[in-house]
Structure 1
Amino acid sequence: MSSRTCLRVATAVSTVVVFLSLVFSVAFLFLGSSNPVDAAGAASVMAHDDFIGHRFLPAHEDWNNETGSRKTGPAQFSAEGHRMRITPVYQIDELRSTSPQKAQFLEEVVIPLSIESLTRMFSLRYPAQGGPLLLQRRCRRTLRWSSGEVECSELASEADQVCGSSGALPSDLFDEAVVCSGSRPGDCKRTARGAGANDTDFVLVVTSSGDDAECAGSEDSMSAQGGFCARDEESGRPVAGFVNVCPGGITSDQDRLGKQVDLAVHEILHALVFEPTLWGYFRDAGGNAYDGSPVTMDVDPVTGRERRVLTTPKVKDFVRQHFNCTSLDGAELENEGGSGTQWSHWEESLFHDEIMTGLASGSGRSVLSNLTLALMEDSGWYLPEYSFAGLLKFGRNAGCDFVEKKCESEGPAAKEFFCYGSGETGCTPNLLSLGRCEPNPLANGCSIVKGFSNAQCQDVRNMEKAVPLHVFDSSSLCVKGDTEPWVMQTSRGHRGSVMTTTTTYPSGSNGCFAFRCSDDGQVLVNIHNKEVACESGMDLKPFGFASGTFGTCPGPEVCDQQLSCDGLCNALEGYCDRGACHCHLGFWGHHCDQKIVPL
Structure 2
Amino acid sequence: MQHSLAALVLCLCCLSLLASDAAGHAGCGLGAVRHRQDEQLRKLLGPGYQHQQAPRRLQVAAGISFGSSGPPPMTRLQKLLNNSRPANMRITPVYQLEAGYMNAEQAQRLKDVLMPGAINILQQHIKVRIPSFRPIKAVRESIDQYCGDADADVVFKGQGFNGTDQVYYITALNSGSCSDNIIAYTIICHMEPFTYRPNVAAINLCPKFWALAEPAANKQVSALVHEMIHGLGFSDRMYPFLYDSSTGVQYDEVVREHDLSPAPTLSFPRLPLPLPNIAAALPRLPAAFARDRASVNNRVLDADDAAVRSAAAQGSAAAAAGGGASSGEQYNAAAEAAAFLAAAQRKVLFLVTPKLQAYARQYYGCESLPGAPADALSEGSHWRQANINHELMQPASAEDSQRKRISQFTLNFLDDTGWYVTDKTSAQELEWGRNAGCSFVLDGCSSYAASHKNQGYYCTAGQADKDVCTYDSRGIGMCSAIPGTTCFTAKADAEKPLLYCQDAGSFQRAGRGAYASSIAAVGGTVGAASSRCFHTPQQICTGSGNSSSSKEACGGDDGSAVCMETACDKGGKLLVLLRLQGSDGKRDVVKLPCSDGAVLDLPKLLPSKFKRGQITCPAAASVCPTLGCPKGCSNGYCWQGKCYCHLEFTGPGCSQSLVPSPLAGKVAQSLPGQQRG
TM-score, normalised via structure 1 length: 0.72
Match of 2:638 among 576, 581, 585: 576
Equivalent residue number for residue 181 of structure 1: none
Q: Identify if the C-alpha distance between structure 1 residues 257 and 474 changes in structure 2 by more than 3 Å, giving closer, same or farther.
A: farther
Which of residues 90, 96, 101 in structure 2 aligns to 1:91?
96
* Mapping for residues 486-497 of structure 1, pairs under 5 Å: 486=541
Aligned to 1:448, the other structure's residue is in SS state: strand
Deviation, 1:590, is 4.7
When residues 211 and 507 of structure 1 are mapped into structure 2, their CA distance, relative to the original with a 3 A threshold, is: farther
Closer, same or farther: CA 263–530 of 1 in aligned 2, 3 Å = farther
- Give the equivalent residue in structure 1 for 2:476: 434
Partner residue of 1:172 out of 151, 154, 163: 154
Return the structure number with greater helix share: 2
More strand by share: 1
RMSD: 3.5
Q: In 2, Cα distance between the equivalents of 1:450 and 1:199? A: 46
Residue 672 of structure 2: aligned partner: none
Please state how far the C-alpha of 1:293 moved relative to its aligned partner.
3.3
Shift of 1:595: 2.7
Shift of 1:278: 1.5
Unaligned 5+ residue runs, structure 2? Answer: 1-5, 38-76, 264-342, 580-586, 662-677
Q: Which amino acid letter does the alignment assign opposite residue 394 of structure 2? A: T
- Equivalent runs, 1:392-431 vs 2, <5 Å: 392-407=430-445, 408-409=447-448, 410-412=450-452, 415-420=455-460, 421-431=463-473
1:290/1:531 CA distance change after superposition, 3 Å: farther
How far does the alpha carbon of each residue in 1:218-237 deviate from its partner, in whole angstroms, 9 at most, with x for none? Answer: xxxx7211131111012111
Match of 2:132 among 116, 128, 135: 128
Alignment of 1:455 with 2:460, yes or no, is no
Alignment of 1:178-577 (within 5 A): 194=159, 196-217=160-181, 223-250=183-210, 254-297=214-257, 299-300=259-260, 302=262, 305=346, 308-335=349-376, 337=377, 341-362=378-399, 363-407=401-445, 408-409=447-448, 410-412=450-452, 415-420=455-460, 421-443=463-485, 445-451=486-492, 453-459=497-503, 462=506, 467-468=516-517, 469=520, 470-472=525-527, 474-482=529-537, 484=539, 486=541, 505=555, 510-519=561-570, 521-528=572-579, 530-534=588-592, 535-536=594-595, 537-539=598-600, 541=602, 547=611, 549=613, 551-558=615-622, 560-566=624-630, 569=633, 573-577=635-639
Please tell me whether the aligned partners of residues 472 and 623 of structure 2 are also in contact (alpha carbons under 8 angstroms).
Answer: no
Query: Does the C-alpha gap of structure 1 residues 84 and 558 become closer, same or farther in structure 2, counting only changes over 3 Å?
Result: same
1:402–1:411 CA contact under 8 A, matched in 2: no
How far did residue 541 of structure 1 move? 3.6
- Residue 595 of structure 1 corresponds to 657
Query: Does structure 1 retain, via aligned residues, the 8 Å contact 2:473–2:618?
Result: no
Cα 1:227–1:137, aligned 2, differ >3 Å: closer, same or farther?
same
Query: Residue 260 of structure 2 contacts residue 443 of structure 2 at CA under 8 Å; is this kept in 1?
Result: no
Match of 1:105 among 106, 109, 131: 109
Deviations 1:461-513 (A, max 9, x none): 54875543343354333333346265689xxxxxxxxx956665567973444
Partner of 1:163: 147
The total of aligned residue pairs comes to: 492
Task: Name the CA distance, whole Å, in 1 between partners of 2:641 and 2:394.
Answer: 27
Counterpart of 1:562, as a letter, is: T
Q: CA deviation at 1:589?
A: 3.4
In structure 1, what is the Cα distance between the partners aligned to 2:452 and 2:239? 36
Q: C-alpha displacement at 1:356, in angstroms?
A: 2.2
**Contact in 2 for aligned 1:476/1:514 (Cα 8 Å):** yes
Residue 147 of structure 1 is matched in structure 2 by none
Distance 1:567 1:263 in 2: 29
Q: Secondary structure at the match of 1:435?
A: strand
Structure 2 match to 1:69? none
User: Structure 1: which 5+ runs fail to align?
Assistant: 16-38, 58-79, 140-154, 176-192, 490-498
State the AA in 1 paired with 2:591: A
| Percent of paired sites with the same residue | 27
Q: Is the 8 A contact 2:212 2:220 kept in 1?
A: no
CA distance in 2 between partners of 1:567 and 1:431 (Å): 22
CA contact (8 A) 2:389 2:432 kept: yes
Which whole-Å CA distance do the structure 1 matches of 2:442 and 2:209 have between them?
37
CA drift of 1:292 comes to 2.3
Cα distance change of structure 1 residues 431 and 419 upon mapping to structure 2, 3 Å threshold: same
1:501-546 Cα deviation digits (max 9, x unpaired): 6665567973444433344545344444543324122436498965
> Offset at 1:275?
1.2
Determine helix, strand or coil for the equivalent of 1:106. Answer: helix
Within 5 A, what are the aligned runs for 1:45-60?
A: 45-49=26-30, 50=33, 52=36
Distance 1:459 1:112, change over 3 A: farther
Opposite residue 125 of structure 2, the aligned amino acid is: M
Report the counterpart of residue 339 of structure 2 in structure 1.
none
**Larger CA deviation: 228-237 vs 393-402:** 393-402
**Aligned-partner SS, 2:202:** strand
Q: CA deviation at 1:343?
A: 3.0
Q: Secondary structure at the match of 2:26?
A: strand
The answer to whether the 8 Å contact 1:319/1:328 transfers is yes
- Kindly indicate whether the alpha-carbon contact (under 8 Å) linking 2:541 and 2:555 is maintained by their aligned counterparts in 1: yes
Query: Could you state the TM-score of these two structures normalised by the residue count of structure 2?
Result: 0.64
Cα drift, residue 88 of structure 1: 1.3
Number of the residue aligned with 1:12: 17
Match of 1:184 in 2: none
Cα deviation for residue 566 of structure 1 reads 4.7
